[in-house]
Amino acid sequence: MSMYNKLKVQDASEITVREIAKENQCSPAALYRHFESLEYLIILGSMRFFIDYMVEYGHLMDSNNNLMDSYIKGWKLFNKYAFERPDLYYRLLWGQYNAMFSDALVEYFELFPVSGSERYPAYFYTLLFTEDIIERDFLMLRRAVNYNLLSYEDAVYFSKSNTLIVKGMLEMYMGRDLESRRQGEQECNELLLKNLEKVYVPSEYGL
C-alpha cells in the first residue's frame, strides 16, 4: 500500500491529498471516490504499524504464563511501538478520528488476515478488535482478576490510570526527535511500574 510506504518515512501530519493523488497519478476527487477522507486513508495505512505490534503481543501471550509479568511486558511492547510513531498511535487510539479505527481494521484484515496468538486465539482477536484502549486494558487485567492476582476494583483503576499515563506521555513527546521519544518511553515505563507497585512488584525491573 502506497500510504504505508509513505508513512514509513513521513509524519502523518505532513501528508496531503494532493501529494497522494499526484503519486498515484489520479486527481484528489478520484481519491475521495474510494476513500471518505484523507484521515481515513492515513488510518488505513497506519494499520500495518498497529498489526506489527499486535502480532508481537500475540507471541508474548504464548510465551509467558505469568499474567502480571505479561501485562507489564505488554505495556512496554506497546510503548516501544507507540513512542516510535506517536503521530500514528495517538491517531488510532486517542485522536479525534479514533471512531474510524474499527472500520479501517476490518478492511485491512479482509485484505491481510493476521495470525497472532496460537494458544489464545479468541482472546487475541477480541483484543485486536477492541478500539477503546481502556476497555482493552481492562480485558487484559480481567484475566488476572480471575486468578485472584488483583481485585476487580484494582483492574478498573489500572485500566484507566495506566492508559492515561501513556496517553499523557505520548502527548508530551509528540513531535520531538527520536532520541527524546526514547527517553519518554523509558520514563513512561517507569511510571507504569511505579503505579503498579500498589499491587505487584516484579522480581526484576528490567522486565
Whats the size of the chain, residue-wise?
Answer: 207
Judge contact between 95 and 43, C-beta under 8 A.
no
Domains and CATH numbers, the chain: 46-196 (1.10.357)
Kindly state the DSSP code that residue 99 receives in the 8-state scheme: G
Q: What is the pLDDT of residue 108?
A: 86
CB neighbour burial string for 185-206, b if at least 16 within 10 angstroms, e if fewer: bebbbebbbeebeeebeeeeee
How many CB atoms sit inside 10 A of residue 82's CB?
27
Do the Cβ atoms of 67 and 144 come closer than 8 Å? yes
Predicted pLDDT at 165: 98
What pLDDT score does 205 carry? 46
At residue 190, the pLDDT reads: 96
Q: DSSP code of 202? A: -
pLDDT beneath 50: ranges in the chain: 205-207
Q: Alpha-carbon distance 151 to 148, whole Å?
A: 7
**Res 28: pLDDT:** 61
Report the pLDDT value the prediction gives residue 134, as an integer from 0 to 100.
96
pTM of the predicted model, to two decimals? 0.85
* Spatial contact of 78 and 34, defined as CB atoms under 8 Å apart: no
Residue with cell 485484505: 111
